[in-house]
Structure 1
């Protein structure tokens, strides 16, 4: 088994690159916030009280909790594409009598090996970031000057354990498809599109929608003296709703693609029609592409709109709410939310780039077949451009919908109105950032995928 694990890693290093980066971020962030937690625990009792802010333990706990949740989402996504790249090898193992348990052991071995490879750089980055983050907190009065990051290896060991748990949990989710079907069917399953969304997935999506709705209600009904809790509930609601988008994505993405594809078909009758047909015909592939874009847009938009809404509430000095809202919009609190946003954007950006690159590279054989029936490279690039624009639009709309309902719940608690203050410039930059990750990622990978002899690629292995 170790030889098989290492052999796959050596033969397909690019397939595990996205997974390695996701695990690196997981180790680095948990090391960072674990070190802050350890700094507070080991500090003298007189130095634990910060002049301002919630304290290191609260900051580390809140940030670490969200980091682990988002890391699981990103690692599941990255591992899914790593398995997709080696689907044929795993299917062949099944046909020569490998049991589902043995395949899962192989995948677990790959995850453990990748985690161990990413652990060293992740520890170094997390320890360096912990010292910088603590210094920034001390400059803003959120940590006492005497607090220092201890030299104990415990945060690093906790980070490794957390990354391994996230990776192994992701294995149970991502390896399910290759191990639950008969061996003969596994050979062809990787090249076909699922016809329908499974009942279990639909039920899980409905449960996530229900949970998100309950969290939105909790956020909207917080009293004026619990606005920090309203913000936390709204942020958690946005993450739960984005999980629902991931589960129900094929249905939502296909509907939006049908609506948005009409103008594209009109503007580009040939390449636009083919791009629209590809997106609507492969709803699961489209869903996998738009979910990271929705994650990036939804999380960034929610935090930006919530901050703008709270600041506007202070400016208006609403009777009975100005004093409590001031704590939410203080310079230190705004800085903390910006730091949290930067962390989440890093995870979302990794997920977006990895997903789009893997999906586009996986279509090498499809592009070769189109070239054999007469399509030129320029026509394929125009088709990919139309697909990239549509993918960006669908992902941005789904993310914007999540951000809208989450920020509306927060605005209800802050101002009594469900209409939040939308920072147009900031939202414009969020959309531009999503497009900057999506369009070049698809076109760059597509340009590489359409090069080479078409006849050889059409008869070769996928990816």
Structure 2
């Protein structure tokens, strides 16, 4: 199985590259903040506390998001190999052997990802400490350290994420029918969504806006709601397809049919759009409300929290953006054969590209809508406790920048991938696929 896994990785290098990039960037984020714990060993008590809080908060949510991203990417990859997995079962492979194959592939990718991430993580951890020095959060003479804690956290968490993602993905690969799988995802999505809404409700009921913990609890609302809505992407896609059914024209008709026929694949592409929009909007507006409110944090904590928030936004939204690009490219290029069949059936290349553009527009609008709803679980409660109003009295420019970025990434990536996928003659695409 080990040799078969290595051959599979070599044969499908392009397909595995998306998963490798996701795991690598996730390892960089985790090791960058875990290195703050190495740095705190040489710091005074107050500085050590600041570094530990920052490492714990960002690292903890980084773990959740990286695990979700790895699971989404690996599940998409396994789903795209359904024919290969069915062939393995036909020639006698047992479900346990297929699970072992997927697990070995994932662990191998995780180990490679950690090795690749070591050098950039050392650099980014040093940059992070320098930013904290510039913000006067740590002493100017404190040396940045990158040691055993960073490496252990990066290796352990990345491996754990890959193993968990592989086990989830392998369940689909190893069996032909799983009637309860959709129900389990639905229950998990609702539970996480309720937890996010509860975080927002807790902020409005239990805090008055002066406690240091209010920002941490409020920030959980957008994160949990975004993950919950991402888990609920399949029923969301089904509902959107139903709404689009009356559309006229070739592109509109094909879009509705494809959304309904490729529900899980489209849901996988929708999830990172929701995450990107929800996390960026929620965190950025929470900090803007804090900056403009009349009840600021204690003076000695405000710069630390502001620095932490902007670092979180930068790292996590970058990760979500890369996840979005990887997922869209992988999902679109996998449809080469479908595009070829459509063209052989009479559709022109412009019609196919029009269909894909319409799909991307629908996904972008849907992702932005539900990402915005996820962000309200942070923005509204935080605005209420800080300003007394439901909506913050601040500029809309930040929100427009977030949604335009999400839409542009989705549309540009999808159309560019589709153009590449339809670049060959249709008959050659169908024959090769």
Q: TM-score range by the shorter chain?
A: over 0.9
Instruction: Look up the match of 2:193.
Output: 209
Q: Give matches, 1:80-159, under 5 Å.
A: 80-150=75-145, 152-159=147-154
Instruction: Look up the match of 1:34.
Output: 34
SS of structure 2 residue aligned to 1:49: helix
Instruction: Look up the match of 1:277.
Output: 257
Could you list the runs of 5+ residues in structure 2 that have no partner in the other structure?
none
TM-score by length of 1: 0.87
Instruction: Give the superposition deviation at 1:303.
Output: 0.9
Instruction: Look up the match of 2:362.
Output: 390
Instruction: Give the superposition deviation at 1:340.
Output: 0.5
Is 1:49 the equivalent of 2:46? yes
CA distance in structure 2 between the partners assigned to 1:237 and 1:390 by the alignment: 25
Instruction: Look up the match of 1:189.
Output: none
Instruction: Look up the match of 2:225.
Output: 241
CA distance in structure 2 between the partners assigned to 1:297 and 1:4 by the alignment: 39
Contact kept? 1:305, 1:421, Cα under 8 Å:
no
Instruction: Give the superposition deviation at 1:373.
Output: 1.5
After the TM superposition, list the runs of 4 or more consecutive aligned residues in structure 1 that deviate by more than 6 angstroms. Answer: 194-197, 325-328
CA distance in structure 2 between the partners assigned to 1:235 and 1:196 by the alignment: 32
Candidates 412, 422, 426, aligned match of 1:450:
422
1:65-117 superposed Cα distances (whole Å, 9 cap, x missing partner): 11111100111111112223333222221222212111111111111211222
Deviates more, 1:289-298 or 1:209-218: 209-218
Contact kept? 1:222, 1:413, Cα under 8 Å:
no
CA distance in structure 1 between the partners assigned to 2:179 and 2:432 by the alignment: 25
Change (3 A) 1:429 1:14: same
Q: Give matches, 1:61-460, under 5 Å.
A: 61-150=56-145, 152-181=147-176, 198-224=182-208, 226-259=210-243, 265=247, 269-314=249-294, 322-324=295-297, 330-421=302-393, 423-460=395-432
1:183-234 superposed Cα distances (whole Å, 9 cap, x missing partner): xxxxxxxxxxx99982222222222222222222222224236544222122
Contact kept? 2:39, 2:146, Cα under 8 Å:
no
Could you list the runs of 5+ residues in structure 1 that have no partner in the other structure?
183-193, 315-321
Contact kept? 1:35, 1:130, Cα under 8 Å:
yes
1:319-376 superposed Cα distances (whole Å, 9 cap, x missing partner): xxx2547677x44432321110011112111211111111111211211111112111
1:385-441 superposed Cα distances (whole Å, 9 cap, x missing partner): 111111111110010111123211222222233223453111111111112210111
CA distance in structure 1 between the partners assigned to 2:345 and 2:218 by the alignment: 51
Count of paired positions: 433
Contact kept? 2:265, 2:331, Cα under 8 Å:
yes
Contact kept? 2:340, 2:430, Cα under 8 Å:
yes
Instruction: Give the superposition deviation at 1:10.
Output: 0.7
Aligned CA RMSD, in angstroms, stands at 2.4
Change (3 A) 1:394 1:422: farther
Instruction: Give the superposition deviation at 1:448.
Output: 1.4
Instruction: Give the superposition deviation at 1:64.
Output: 0.8
SS of structure 2 residue aligned to 1:198: helix
Contact kept? 2:122, 2:146, Cα under 8 Å:
no
CA distance in structure 2 between the partners assigned to 1:165 and 1:226 by the alignment: 37
Contact kept? 2:74, 2:166, Cα under 8 Å:
yes
SS of structure 2 residue aligned to 1:221: helix
Instruction: Give the superposition deviation at 1:17.
Output: 0.9
CA distance in structure 2 between the partners assigned to 1:454 and 1:325 by the alignment: 64
Instruction: Give the superposition deviation at 1:260.
Output: 6.5
Is 1:18 the equivalent of 2:49? no
